[in-house]
Amino acid sequence: MGNIVSKFLHTRMRVSNLEETVKFYQTVFGLEVSRRHESPRGSKLVFLAVPNSDEEIELTYFPGSGPVEVQEDLMHLAFEVDDMNKFADHIKGLEYEFSDGPTLSSSGSTFAFVDAPEGYEVEVIEKPK
């Protein structure tokens, strides 16, 4: 039958403060805005390009759906970093801190979490060299 889908395109996350969240992903993770537009129903959409990946993150702001309340441990994004200590220094300089970790896993990877403005967790992973 072949592939039913041909490609993973993006993950959508609804946020309460679009510009604050865009700035968070730009400054903390170095993501770039690939495009912005408004949907037919009036949602404001911002797509973020991820380095070395075709997949994007879609942030959407739609006040008509009510306030965003992110349930604890609902989902997370994960990004690889080359050096956890350098990343820790980078976020400290931006006045952010890890919400959990860094922790050494049984596979030899080190992982930690940073909370985005709405409370979504973002995992960073340094794989063993």
| Neighbour order of strands in the sheet with 32-38 | 10-14, 56-61, 44-49, 32-38
Domains defined for the chain, CATH in brackets: 8-62 (3.10.180.10), 74-129 (3.10.180.10)
pLDDT at 2: 76
Tell me what the pLDDT averaged over the chain comes to: 94
CA-CA distance, 13 to 26, in Å (whole number)?
16
pLDDT at 76: 93
pLDDT at 79: 97
Q: Which of 76, 79, 27 is nearest to 51 (CA)?
A: 79
- Contact present, 80 and 91 (Cβ < 8 Å): no
- Point out the residues that are catalytic: 123
pLDDT at 66: 85
pLDDT at 1: 65
> In which residue ranges of the chain is pLDDT below 50?
none
CA-CA distance, 22 to 78, in Å (whole number)?
17
